[in-house]
Structure 1
Amino acid sequence: MQARVVVFPVKGLAWCFALPRASAAAPAADGALPRPTLRDLWRGISSGSRTAPEKAEAVVDFVADKMNRAWVGFGSAPEGSMKSRIHSFGLKLLSRVRPSEVLLKSVTKDVSALEIVHPASINSRLVRRRLRHIAVRGASVHKKFLYGSVCLLPVTSVFMVLPLPNIPFFWVLFRAYSHWRALQGSERLELLVSDCSDKWKVLEEKINSVKDGKPSENARNSPWKLRPSEKLDRFLEGRNLDEGLDCDTILSICQEYDLDKIDVLKYRDLL
């Protein structure tokens, strides 16, 4: 699976790194599948063909699916109900999540190639260096917050005795899952944009196609492709980046590359 990352400056030294919404939503496309049951989970983890990490990932995915379905149910609750209020409060909390975390969570283990679109006026090596910095820093940050969230789970579980929904526990549980996903994405992104060809061997089963018993021409290529775009340059031409891109320009770029405007605005308003 190939993913595309669109990179462009939004304000001063702040850059936006965003995946098109179609690519970001691809991992969630399994929402139409039948709801997994505990019996299905047990069959999956009890089979001897899976390794311990794969079994742990299956359990995490099962819990995440349950949480996602419950969240959707809260969103469809009647206006003014307790579930609706919890959903509104949760949206406010989610709006504070950093956009880099959204990017890293979108880089799943299925991504074996990366197309990086950036303004032609910006040095390609600088673009890849900053993308690699996001991956390295993200791995460090999300590993720390993952451990912190896991440590908080026993503390927040004491609120289970209350007759109200244990919002702190489920929020910490969700954040632990999000940090775990972002950590996995950081490691994957670092692998994709790495300079070391030895690391690419991990991806060779997906990025190399074998025909007639011989590796194809793609076997000698890196998993990342830099695509300088003059169209992006035209969007940025004459704009005052010191004050930040205006909303109309951001909207035009988002429509052209199918980006989430809210995430792009987060990059601009971080400073």
Structure 2
Amino acid sequence: MRIFIVPISTRRALIYARPVGQEVSKERTYIDKITNKAAETWAKWEEADKGWKKHLVSWGNKVQQRIPYQEWGLKSIPSLSSQRRIDKTYGTKKVDVLFPGNAIRSEKLHSLLHAIATERQDLHRKRMWWSFLATPLTAPIGLLPVVPNIPFFYLVYRGWSHCRALNGSKHLEYLLEKNLLNPISYPALEKLYAKRVSHALEYTKLDKPLPEMVEDVEKSDDRLLLRMSDAKKLATILEAPDLALEAERAIVQVQEQLNPHDREDKSQSPPKEKDT
């Protein structure tokens, strides 16, 4: 496994884990098989032109976009037990953590990772149990003909999602406690972030030394660093195709949090009249 820390703004970062080498080719668990089967079914429903499948997919995609990027990031980290099952020697050597040293000070990486690992554990634990305990209440809806029991499947999905995020956070906490992380300021990331930091902080020059640039980042207000086009660049740089979607989701969410009035203006503005 390899971990990436991707700063979305000067104060917020996305964590993402990617399996490496033999981890990819190992036999899948039952949960993996069920998840992949659900993904295949969802993909078929997306092809529907009309009917409840089309409406369900549209609603479901909106729901997934609203799930916090922090949760998606933690979900990318496998549980410690599953990682040990895949790799019997896991825990005997350090896990590489790639990050841009001109956007995050290396000395503060440990505290950042500790915050990512611990600050949402209680939330995921509470919402996981609430989701699972609430599922029996949706049983009567399953008696209705034709339409599937959407509330039931939604609660099961959210419970599973919170469980995955909780396990990921515990795994990360374990790596921190056992000093099993190997921080690496990745040159390719530094090159990308030098441009983005220079653009976001107009007083910071592109060729500024790394220590001075990261100091400017720390002194600045919370400002968005990445553009939507950067998501695919990150996926290419880090050889992690699935990272593109996670980065896009994080960029959208952070941008809305930093500029909430933009979303309000869009929702309140009257529709444009069509040319006649």
TM-score, normalised relative to structure 2: 0.66
Shift of residue 167, structure 1, vs aligned partner: 0.5
**Aligned counterparts of 1:138 and 1:129: Cα–Cα separation in 2:** 15
Paired amino acid for 1:179? H
1:79 to 2:77 alignment? no
Please name the residue that 2:189 is paired with: 232
Contact 1:119/1:229, CA 8 A, preserved across alignment:
yes
Contact 2:73/2:246, CA 8 A, preserved across alignment:
no
Once the two structures are superposed, the pairs formed by residues 1-271 of structure 1 within 5 Å of their partners are 3-20=1-18, 30=27, 62=30, 65-66=33-34, 68-77=36-45, 79-80=48-49, 82-108=52-78, 109=80, 110=83, 112=90, 113-121=94-102, 122-163=104-145, 164-194=147-177, 200=178, 222-237=179-194, 238-240=198-200, 242-259=223-240, 260-268=243-251, 269-270=253-254, 271=257
The 3-state SS of whatever aligns with 2:97 is strand
Instruction: Extract unaligned runs of 5+ from structure 1.
Output: 32-60, 195-199, 201-221
Shift of residue 258, structure 1, vs aligned partner: 2.9
**Aligned counterparts of 1:27 and 1:135: Cα–Cα separation in 2:** 24
**Aligned counterparts of 1:181 and 1:161: Cα–Cα separation in 2:** 30
Cα gap change, 1:233/1:67 in structure 2, threshold over 3 Å: closer, same or farther?
A: closer
Contact 1:4/1:114, CA 8 A, preserved across alignment:
yes
Cα RMSD of the aligned pairs, angstroms, is: 2.7
Shift of residue 168, structure 1, vs aligned partner: 0.6
Instruction: Extract unaligned runs of 5+ from structure 2.
Output: 85-89, 202-222, 258-276
**Aligned counterparts of 2:95 and 2:239: Cα–Cα separation in 1:** 17
Aligned-pair identity (%): 22
Shift of residue 76, structure 1, vs aligned partner: 1.8
Instruction: Report the count of equivalent residues.
Output: 211
**Aligned counterparts of 1:247 and 1:73: Cα–Cα separation in 2:** 28
Contact 2:128/2:162, CA 8 A, preserved across alignment:
yes
**Aligned counterparts of 1:89 and 1:30: Cα–Cα separation in 2:** 33
**Aligned counterparts of 2:32 and 2:188: Cα–Cα separation in 1:** 39
Shift of residue 240, structure 1, vs aligned partner: 0.7
Paired amino acid for 1:240? A
User: What are the superposed Cα offsets for residues 129-158 of structure 1, whole Å, 9 maximum, x if unpaired?
Assistant: 111111112321110111211221122222
User: What are the superposed Cα offsets for residues 179-218 of structure 1, whole Å, 9 maximum, x if unpaired?
Assistant: 1121111111100112xxxxx4xxxxxxxxxxxxxxxxxx
Shift of residue 7, structure 1, vs aligned partner: 1.6
Cα gap change, 1:74/1:15 in structure 2, threshold over 3 Å: closer, same or farther?
A: closer
TM-score, normalised relative to structure 1: 0.67
Contact 2:15/2:74, CA 8 A, preserved across alignment:
no
Paired amino acid for 2:64? L
Paired amino acid for 2:174? L
The 3-state SS of whatever aligns with 2:199 is coil
Contact 2:16/2:76, CA 8 A, preserved across alignment:
no
> Which range moves more in the overlay, 82-91 or 154-163?
82-91
Paired amino acid for 1:79? A
**Aligned counterparts of 1:73 and 1:246: Cα–Cα separation in 2:** 32
Higher normalized contact order (CA 8 Å, seq sep 6+, divided by chain length): 1
User: What are the superposed Cα offsets for residues 45-93 of structure 1, whole Å, 9 maximum, x if unpaired?
Assistant: xxxxxxxxxxxxxxxx757744642442242245225445433432222
Shift of residue 166, structure 1, vs aligned partner: 0.4
Shift of residue 252, structure 1, vs aligned partner: 2.2
Paired amino acid for 1:136? T
The 3-state SS of whatever aligns with 1:245 is coil
Contact 1:117/1:227, CA 8 A, preserved across alignment:
yes
